[in-house]
């Protein structure tokens, strides 16, 4: 139980931040007009990830899935920044 909670808290922060950064990057004009609303969405998204971490069967599975999700989102953000310029 504590392992799933820690996975949601610790891996939810970078996952929520990177997901919102990716959304801003794909918006027109790189989301400059949507910065404040997207920043307000950070806490509900982080809370959703924390709640969703309790749906996993074990703590190990939560760490693996959330960790791989973080790696995928970071890689996608890195690729979109370097390929789009």
User: How far is residue 50's CA from residue 5's CA, in Å, rounded to a whole number?
Assistant: 7
pLDDT tens track for 25-70: 988 888 788 889 888 999 999 999 999 999 999 999 999 999 999 9
pLDDT higher than 70, residue 85: no
pLDDT tens track for 5-25: 999 999 999 999 999 999 999
- End-to-end C-alpha distance for the chain, whole angstroms: 43
User: How far is residue 22's CA from residue 59's CA, in Å, rounded to a whole number?
Assistant: 27
Cα→Cα distances 56→13, 27, 37, 53, 84, Å = 18, 32, 30, 6, 35
Domain that holds residue 8: 1-84
Q: Are 73 and 15 in contact (CB under 8 A)?
A: yes
Local structure of residue 32 (DSSP, 8 states): G
Number of separate domains in the chain: 1
pLDDT of residue 84: 74
pLDDT of residue 35: 87
């Amino acid at each position: 139980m504590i392992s799933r909670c820690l996975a949601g808290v610790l891996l939810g922060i970078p996952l929520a931040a990177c997901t919102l950064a990716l959304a801003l990057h794909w918006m027109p004009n790189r989301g400059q007009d949507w910065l404040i609303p997207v920043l307000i969405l950070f806490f509900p998204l982080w809370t959703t990830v924390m709640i969703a971490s309790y749906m996993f069967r074990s703590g190990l599975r939560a760490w693996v899935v959330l960790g791989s999700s973080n790696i995928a989102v970071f890689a996608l953000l890195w690729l979109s920044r370097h390929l789009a310029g």
